[in-house]
């Protein structure tokens, strides 16, 4: 995780010689800051983000233990390593109970110091990753592979490949359920940021009053109820990607604040004036027409242009029907894997109906339908009859002439019966109570396929 930026280490010690020797040992691998007193250290900490503090227990002005406590309160992710003389070991042990990572005894061995620091950084990285993975786990299963074979989708895949290594913002637009979040994840997963966090900020779900703290974080006491320092999503997304979902739901005044962060790449936690620099790539999604919202004064035009560096428009499923069969197969496969049951398939007639259906809920609707069908169908092949139990595939007939409506009904009914008897025309004509030849001619007239 630490490939882009050197970790920052703050050395706090009143002895100049000690500061200098730490500096000498550390400066090749780390960015080193030096403070000769507790108050100087506080000054540095209020302005800079520090990964590790090497803290002398005996300081002239502030008790090292008090400083440890306030560092941990401000940012629990900062690791503190106490530096102590042999006679103060009891205090060092107490410091560890209070959250210090380790202690180093003066005079120190260079190798020991380097090992402890790299272990502390490793731990810090793990803690950050665990928090991130927990969040990811909640979403696991919902977001697996992205599939598609329609020309329009293949173009989107190509577009994703071509923009993934730029740092320019991406605005993903499309109806609900078309796969905007999946595309956002694909952009992140194919980029050089992939080993760093992908942080989702759901602008529709976060209450407006909490949005600012959610994005930027806040310090303890920033407002009533702020009992702890909380790190904001944009800070968590450092070196990774922030995905602003349903960006149209962001209030106009927050839009202005967000714009500033995108431009300056820095912000402050609520209640603090310490500037936090965060290297974030921004992705945003919306199922609204943003230019319309701009007209109405609900969306800032400047933010729109900032986000729309790379526009991706995902067409609704009904405009890329070529994807329907592969999506159906994909979700059947997923169901089989998850349930441990044999993989089902669709009959040709069922496939035809599903490919013609308009899918107002797009891929999400299709995914839910496959899930339900695969669960309730006992047979290996899912046919028209099974679709009918869910009343899918019947087009609304209110806009048709009576003749067309009757034909549509007859076509559907005959197809259902044929499907239920494995396309035996003999059995179907018996069930329908018509002569076999009548059935055959109706099938020709109504263009019902004979398989």
Ligand X SMILES: Nc1ncnc2c1ncn2[C@@H]1O[C@H](COP(=O)(O)OP(=O)(O)OP(=O)(O)O)[C@@H](O)[C@H]1O
Residues that bind ligand X (CB under 6 A): 142-143, 146-148, 174, 176-182, 287, 330, 363-364, 367
Q: Smaller CB distance to Mg ion: residue 32 or 290?
A: 290
| Least distance between ligand X and beta carbon 179 (Å) | 3
Q: Applying CB under 5 A, which residues contact Mg ion? A: 181
- Contact between 33 and 51 under an 8 Å Cβ cutoff? The reply is no
Q: Which does 176 bind (CB under 5 to 8 A by kind): ligand X, Mg ion, none?
A: ligand X
| Least distance between ligand X and beta carbon 348 (Å) | 23
Q: Which does 178 bind (CB under 5 to 8 A by kind): ligand X, Mg ion, none?
A: ligand X
Q: Which does 197 bind (CB under 5 to 8 A by kind): Mg ion, ligand X, none?
A: none
Q: Which does 270 bind (CB under 5 to 8 A by kind): ligand X, Mg ion, none?
A: none
| Least distance between Mg ion and beta carbon 135 (Å) | 16
For the record, the structure tokens of 185 come out as 């994840």
* Nearest position to Mg ion, beta carbon: 181
DSSP state of 81: E
Q: Which does 363 bind (CB under 5 to 8 A by kind): ligand X, Mg ion, none?
A: ligand X
How does strand 230-231 pair with strand 217-218?
Answer: antiparallel
For the record, the structure tokens of 69 come out as 């406590």
Measured between alpha carbons, how far is 438 from 419 in angstroms, rounded to an integer?
Answer: 18
For the record, the structure tokens of 216 come out as 């930027």
Q: Which of 7, 6, 132, 3 is nearest to 81 (CA)?
A: 7
Q: Smaller CB distance to ligand X: residue 179 or 393?
A: 179
Query: What stretches of 173-289 show up as alpha helix (H) in DSSP?
Result: 180-189, 211-216, 233-236, 252-264
Q: Smaller CB distance to ligand X: residue 174 or 232?
A: 174
| Least distance between ligand X and beta carbon 83 (Å) | 50
| Least distance between Mg ion and beta carbon 175 (Å) | 11
- Contact between 239 and 198 under an 8 Å Cβ cutoff? The reply is no
Q: Which does 42 bind (CB under 5 to 8 A by kind): Mg ion, ligand X, none?
A: none
* Nearest position to ligand X, beta carbon: 179
Q: Smaller CB distance to ligand X: residue 54 or 324?
A: 324
Q: Smaller CB distance to Mg ion: residue 247 or 324?
A: 247
| Least distance between ligand X and beta carbon 248 (Å) | 11
- Secondary structure class of 295 (helix, strand, coil): helix
| Least distance between ligand X and beta carbon 379 (Å) | 25
Q: Is residue 182 classed exposed, middle or buried when 0-12, 13-18 and 19+ CB atoms within 10 A define those classes?
A: middle
Q: Which does 123 bind (CB under 5 to 8 A by kind): ligand X, Mg ion, none?
A: none
Q: Smaller CB distance to ligand X: residue 32 or 284?
A: 284
The number of beta carbons lying within 10 Å of the beta carbon of residue 258 is 28
Q: Which of 373, 389, 384 is nearest to 414 (CA)?
A: 384
Q: Smaller CB distance to Mg ion: residue 367 or 415?
A: 367
Q: Smaller CB distance to Mg ion: residue 40 or 181?
A: 181
Measured between alpha carbons, how far is 373 from 328 in angstroms, rounded to an integer?
Answer: 11
| Least distance between ligand X and beta carbon 419 (Å) | 28
Mark 51-87 as b/e (b = at least 16 C-beta within 10 Å): bbbbbbbebeebebbebbeebbebbeebbbbbbbeee
Q: Which does 19 bind (CB under 5 to 8 A by kind): Mg ion, ligand X, none?
A: none
Q: Which of 308, 216, 220, 291 is nearest to 257 (CA)?
A: 216
Measured between alpha carbons, how far is 409 from 430 in angstroms, rounded to an integer?
Answer: 19
Q: Which does 217 bind (CB under 5 to 8 A by kind): ligand X, Mg ion, none?
A: none
| Least distance between ligand X and beta carbon 312 (Å) | 11
Q: Smaller CB distance to ligand X: residue 180 or 281?
A: 180
The C-alpha R_g of the chain, in whole angstroms, comes to 31
Measured between alpha carbons, how far is 149 from 157 in angstroms, rounded to an integer?
Answer: 10
């Amino acid at each position: 995780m630490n490939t882009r930026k050197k970790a920052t280490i703050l050395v706090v010690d009143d002895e100049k010689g000690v500061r200098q020797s730490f500096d000498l040992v550390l400066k090749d691998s780390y960015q080193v800051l030096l403070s000769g007193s507790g108050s100087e250290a506080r000054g540095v900490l209020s302005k800079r983000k520090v990964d590790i503090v090497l803290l002398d227990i005996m300081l002239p002005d502030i008790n090292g233990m008090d400083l440890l406590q306030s560092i941990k309160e401000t940012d629990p992710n900062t690791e503190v390593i106490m530096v102590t003389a042999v006679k103060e070991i009891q205090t060092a042990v107490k410091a560890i109970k209070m959250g210090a990572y380790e202690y180093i005894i003066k005079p120190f061995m260079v190798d020991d110091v380097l090992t402890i620091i790299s272990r502390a950084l490793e731990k810090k990285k793990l803690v950050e990753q665990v928090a991130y993975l927990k969040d990811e786990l909640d979403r696991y299963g919902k977001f697996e592979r992205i599939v598609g074979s329609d020309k329009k989708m293949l173009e989107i895949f190509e577009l994703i490949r071509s923009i993934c290594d730029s740092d320019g913002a991406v605005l993903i637009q499309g109806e609900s359920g078309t796969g905007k979040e999946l595309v956002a994840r694909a952009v992140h997963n194919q980029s050089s940021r992939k080993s760093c966090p992908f942080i989702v900020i759901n602008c529709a779900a976060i209450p407006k009053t909490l949005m600012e703290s959610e994005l930027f974080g806040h310090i303890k006491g920033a407002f009533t109820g702020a009992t702890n320092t909380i790190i904001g999503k944009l800070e968590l997304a450092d070196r990774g990607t922030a995905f602003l979902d349903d960006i149209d739901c962001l209030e106009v005044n927050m839009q202005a604040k967000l714009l500033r962060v995108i431009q300056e790449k820095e912000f402050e936690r609520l209640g603090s004036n310490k500037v936090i620099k965060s290297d974030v790539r921004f992705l945003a999604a919306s199922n609204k027409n943003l230019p319309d919202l701009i007209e109405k004064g609900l969306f800032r035009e400047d933010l729109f242009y900032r986000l729309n560096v790379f526009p991706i428009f995902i067409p609704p499923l009904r405009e890329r029907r070529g994807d329907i069969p592969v999506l159906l197969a994909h979700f059947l496969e997923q169901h089989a894997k998850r349930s441990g049951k044999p993989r089902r398939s669709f009959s040709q007639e069922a496939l035809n109906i599903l490919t013609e259906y308009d899918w107002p809920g797009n891929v999400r609707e299709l995914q839910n339908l496959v899930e339900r069908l695969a669960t309730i169908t006992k047979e290996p092949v899912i046919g028209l009859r099974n679709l009918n139990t869910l009343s899918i595939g019947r087009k609304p007939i209110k806009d048709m002439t009576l003749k067309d409506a009757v034909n549509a009904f007859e076509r559907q009914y005959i197809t259902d019966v044929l499907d239920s008897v494995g396309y035996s025309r003999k059995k179907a004509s018996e069930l329908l109570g018509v002569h076999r030849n009548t059935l055959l001619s109706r099938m020709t007239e109504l263009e019902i396929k004979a398989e």
